[in-house]
């Protein structure tokens, strides 16, 4: 009886573990900002994530057509820029709010393809939540406009990442993820080297970077794949819609970032829009087989 209960709960626990690991890894990665900057941190995180996943999947075992190689290139560049812009946003805006703003990319992508009335409700909730966070006037709060712009740019890259990832759905998931992360690492490396220089080679920082990469990439990817094999994509999307709240809580516990009532309302609206979009998604539209690897991708698969 206990075994059956655990088996039934396993995919839900896997999603919770994946979301938590992503948040923990990103929260601890932010502690590197004073030492090597946001771009140096991105380089360490994505670089070691790529090495870990390459060692795990060994993507060279499968052939790769020229057309697929071009798709992997676009997928990886979008993934790299998404990470870079997201970490740039974390310099000046709280973790949970950056995640909520970034959610607007895949959520918009999911909603624009639909013309059903119910989806306009989710779109209105997402727009309302985003409007609560955008620095449109003196009364809306102290969010840094540049940080918000970086998060919005990361949202666009997240949407592109999903679009390009769908083109790789016929490939082995491990091959797509490993090659995509390798391209992402190459994409962000020049920015990190420019900002951090030789500080990137400090042994202590390298060891810390390996830990961050394992917690925020290798573990979540593995848990996501466990969940995706056992859950419908709608259920997976609903569960992962809790990511902004988890990020906000971890930002409070690990980074001492506090949010006001308006900002929590914005996060709640974003979560509700993501969960609703996943719940009412058309079952005739196939979800991508490529695991979504970072920073908060998965809840709004179209």
Span between the terminal Cα atoms of the chain, in Å: 36
pLDDT score of 94 more than 70: yes
pLDDT digits (tens, 9 = 90+) for 57-80: 899 999 999 989 999 999 999 999
How far is residue 221 CA from its own chain's centroid?
11
pLDDT score of 1 more than 60: no
Helix 203-213 vs helix 2-29: angle between axes, to the nearest 10 degrees? Answer: 140
pLDDT of residue 187: 97
Instruction: Please report how many Cα atoms fall inside a 13 Å half-sphere around the Cα of residue 247, on the Cβ side.
Output: 29
- For the chain, list the strands marked E by DSSP: none
Average pLDDT over residues 288-296: 47
The rounded distance, in Å, linking the Cα atoms of 101 and 130 is 6
Annotated domain spans of the chain: 20-279
pLDDT digits (tens, 9 = 90+) for 173-192: 888 889 999 999 999 999 99
pLDDT of residue 136: 61
Kindly report whether the peptide bond that precedes residue 61 is cis, defined as omega within 30 degrees of 0: no
The rounded distance, in Å, linking the Cα atoms of 279 and 119 is 10
The rounded distance, in Å, linking the Cα atoms of 241 and 2 is 28
The rounded distance, in Å, linking the Cα atoms of 291 and 105 is 17
């Amino acid at each position: 009886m206990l075994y059956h209960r655990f088996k039934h709960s396993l995919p839900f626990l896997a999603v919770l573990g994946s979301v938590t690991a992503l948040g923990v890894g990103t929260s601890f990665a932010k502690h590197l900002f004073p030492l090597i900057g946001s771009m140096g941190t991105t380089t360490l995180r994505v670089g070691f994530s790529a090495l870990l996943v390459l060692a795990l999947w060994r993507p060279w075992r499968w052939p790769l057509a020229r057309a697929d190689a071009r798709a992997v290139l676009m997928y990886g560049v979008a993934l790299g820029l998404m990470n870079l812009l997201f970490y740039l946003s974390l310099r000046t805006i709280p973790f949970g709010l950056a995640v909520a703003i970034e959610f607007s990319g895949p959520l918009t992508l999911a909603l624009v393809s639909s013309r059903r009335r119910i989806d306009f409700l989710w779109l209105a909730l997402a727009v309302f939540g985003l409007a609560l966070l955008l620095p449109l006037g003196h009364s809306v709060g102290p969010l840094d406009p540049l940080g918000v712009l970086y998060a919005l740019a990361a949202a666009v890259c997240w949407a592109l990442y999903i679009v390009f990832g769908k083109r790789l759905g016929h490939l082995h998931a491990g091959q797509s993820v490993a090659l995509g992360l390798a391209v992402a690492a190459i994409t962000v490396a020049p920015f990190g080297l420019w900002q951090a220089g030789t500080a990137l080679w400090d042994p202590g920082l390298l060891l810390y970077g390996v830990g961050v990469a394992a917690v925020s990439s290798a573990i979540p990817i593995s848990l996501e794949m466990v969940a995706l094999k056992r859950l419908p994509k709608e259920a997976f999307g609903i569960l992962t819609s809790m990511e902004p709240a988890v990020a906000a809580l971890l930002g409070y516990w690990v980074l001492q970032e506090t949010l006001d009532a308006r900002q929590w309302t914005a996060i709640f609206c974003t979560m509700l829009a993501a969960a609703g979009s996943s719940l009412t998604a058309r079952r005739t539209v196939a979800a991508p087989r490529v695991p979504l690897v970072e920073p908060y991708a998965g809840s709004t698969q179209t």
